[in-house]
């Protein structure tokens, strides 16, 4: 996470288990970097809560960024074993994490919009792709195929014309109704994250959500859009 999200919780408080810096998934027993894992801690009442910003005090434990693994940790009561305490994990913990990741992405989109690094509307998105300022594009899941196809053509034209390694990535993570719930009047059908720190934050959080929902892998089409060396 970015420095704006605060310092990382001390790793010595977490489930060590032989992993580097104490970051080991309690389900797979594999170690990983903070961006590959979700930290969980016990609230004062013993309820397990996700700590996406890695700021909450106390001993924590980690699960890989994968909805299925969070659900498995709940079903097998692995949080109590990892924390060596009487704790309770909500049955819908996997869904809670998803909602938090969605809210985190929507919040970053709002921030990027205020910074002038997030635009919506098919013409603005097409222009941002063609002039190279777009880091990624976003479409509502239920966006019309014709509108998506036109922006895909712009992505391909930029990729071929500038000889980038991959096309600018394209995400479809919200339905239009879900965006209206999260973003109100700022909901969009087509949008683009633009170059800059806030725009980069949007892309990072979109990748986190995609990976969480898809077994640790992002299903966004395209890639970094960097020029070949």
Question: Where does residue 91 rank: exposed (0-12), middle (13-18), buried (19+ CB within 10 A)?
Answer: exposed
Tens digits of residue pLDDT in 66-124: 999 999 999 999 999 999 999 999 999 999 999 999 999 999 999 999 999 999 999 99
Q: How is the beta sheet containing 37-42 ordered, strand by strand?
A: 48-50, 37-42, 60-64
Q: Please, are residues 150 and 122 in contact by the beta-carbon 8 Å criterion?
A: yes
Residues 17, 48: Cα–Cα separation, whole Å: 19
> Helix or strand or coil: residue 38?
strand
Confidence of residue 161 (pLDDT cuts 50, 70, 90): very high
As a whole number of Å, the CA-based R_g of the chain is 19
Q: What's the distance, CA 85 to chain centroid?
A: 30
State the pTM of this model: 0.85
Tens digits of residue pLDDT in 15-66: 444 444 569 999 999 999 988 999 999 999 999 999 999 999 999 999 999 9
């Amino acid at each position: 996470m970015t420095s704006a999200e605060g310092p990382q919780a001390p790793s010595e408080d977490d489930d060590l288990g032989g992993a580097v810096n104490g970051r080991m998934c309690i389900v797979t027993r594999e170690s990983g970097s903070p961006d590959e894992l979700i930290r969980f801690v016990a609230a004062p009442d013993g309820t397990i809560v996700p700590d996406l910003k890695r700021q909450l005090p106390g001993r924590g434990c980690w699960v890989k960024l994968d909805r299925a693994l969070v659900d498995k940790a709940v079903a097998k009561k692995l949080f109590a074993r990892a924390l060596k305490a009487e704790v309770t994990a909500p049955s819908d913990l996997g869904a809670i994490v998803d909602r938090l990741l969605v809210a985190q992405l929507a919040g970053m989109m709002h921030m990027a919009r205020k910074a002038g690094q997030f635009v919506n509307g098919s013409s603005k998105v097409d222009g941002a792709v063609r002039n190279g300022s777009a880091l990624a594009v976003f479409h509502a899941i239920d966006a019309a195929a014709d509108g998506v196809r036109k922006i895909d053509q712009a992505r391909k034209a930029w990729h071929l014309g500038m000889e980038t390694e991959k096309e600018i990535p394209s995400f479809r993570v919200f339905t239009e109704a879900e965006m209206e719930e999260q973003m109100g009047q700022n909901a969009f059908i087509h949008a683009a994250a633009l170059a800059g720190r806030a725009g980069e934050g949007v892309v990072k959080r979109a990748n986190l959500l995609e990976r969480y929902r898809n077994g640790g892998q992002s299903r966004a089409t395209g890639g970094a859009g960097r020029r070949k060396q």
